[in-house]
Amino acid sequence: MTDHSTTDLASRLRGLWLPLITPFRDGELDEVSLRRLVGHYAAGPVDGFILAATSGEGMSLRAGELERLVTVTRSELLGIGRHMPILLGLSGASTAKMMDALDETAAWPIDGYLIASPYYIRPSQRGLVQHFTALADHASWPIALYNIPYRTGVSLTNETLLQLAKHPNIVGMKDCSADRAQSIDFLSRRPPGFRVLTGEDALYHEALTDGADGAILLSAHLETDAFASVQTLLKQGDRDGARACWKAISVLTRLLFAEPSPAPAKYWLARGGLIDSAEVRLPMVEVSAELAALLDEEIERRRPPLLRRA
């Protein structure tokens, strides 16, 4: 850990971040599609990538694939001349094993970690403080907390978050608490410089109006410019414009989570040619025929008129 890396990530942990999906083909990591994805989004209004977290099916990746995912992504960014920050998603129920994972990834070309609470075992708040403190003390890169209780089975309370936010190597959080009152309370009490990005796609607009620094949104794989514009318009004081922009894209946040994510997003991206296959890994399955029909309707509705007639 260095003060420079911690300060740098804290200053860049804002705006629109993309939890990049991981493309597969015939059971393997699809590096061709990965490079295409990275190049496409790096050319747009995306401020950073999250790799191998929930949307990236990180828990299905083998160790070698995880490293290759990071290496290819950084290589593609370097090739197009953009230094976009990368956070690596890590999760696990054992503090000791998580520390091993931090050691194994310390030399990888990343800028930090997004780390979820230990899943399944549901530790106490005191246990969560000790867990994340041990990881932050040990990590070579700064950490953003990932509070997502409906997946891990345990929530980081605001008192716990405030205690952890004092650690110099914990620079921010992805807020998926799905509790607006808790989020507003934390935003009002967080220490200066501690970044909060919402991860609740359907609550994006209201999280920004409540004071969040940005968002990490699966839905922003689609209509990326429009998702970025919501925040830009709010910063410019154009609340009506931001609300109208949000209304036009909010339907995507419902469609893309109508079945387990990221299968719907992969279906859309494959239809658009950004990835070669909509393949997911078991126990994830591809979208149902019913949802595929709904997605096709929305894809057709959003297609430019000239292309629609063609």
Residue 304's pLDDT is what?
A: 72
Q: State phi, psi for 122 to the nearest 5 degrees.
A: 55, 65
Dihedral, 39, 45, 50, 51 alpha carbons, nearest 10: -10
Q: Is residue 146 classed as helix, strand or coil in its secondary structure?
A: strand
Compute the distance between CA of residue 201 and CA of residue 199 in angstroms, rounded to an integer: 6
Compute the distance between CA of residue 149 and CA of residue 63 in angstroms, rounded to an integer: 26
Residues known to be catalytic: 146, 174
Considering only CA atoms, which of 201, 254, 147 is closest in space to residue 18?
A: 201
Residue 5's pLDDT is what?
A: 60
228-238 confidence digits (pLDDT tens): 999 999 999 99
First to last CA, the chain: 55
Query: Annotated binding residue at 275?
Result: no
Query: Annotated binding residue at 86?
Result: no
Compute the distance between CA of residue 115 and CA of residue 124 in angstroms, rounded to an integer: 17
249-295 confidence digits (pLDDT tens): 999 999 999 999 999 999 999 999 999 999 999 999 999 999 999 99
**Beta strand extents in the chain (DSSP E only):** 15-19, 24-25, 28-29, 48-51, 86-90, 112-116, 143-147, 170-175, 195-198, 214-216
DSSP assigned state of 221: G
Residue 145's pLDDT is what?
A: 98
Residue 6's pLDDT is what?
A: 65
Considering only CA atoms, which of 1, 83, 74 is closest in space to residue 31?
A: 74
pTM for the structure as a whole: 0.95
CATH superfamily of 3-241: Aldolase class I (3.20.20.70)
Residue 303's pLDDT is what?
A: 85
Question: Which CA distances in Å does 278 have to 35, 216, 261, 266?
Answer: 16, 21, 12, 5
Residues of the chain with pLDDT under 70: 1-7, 305-310
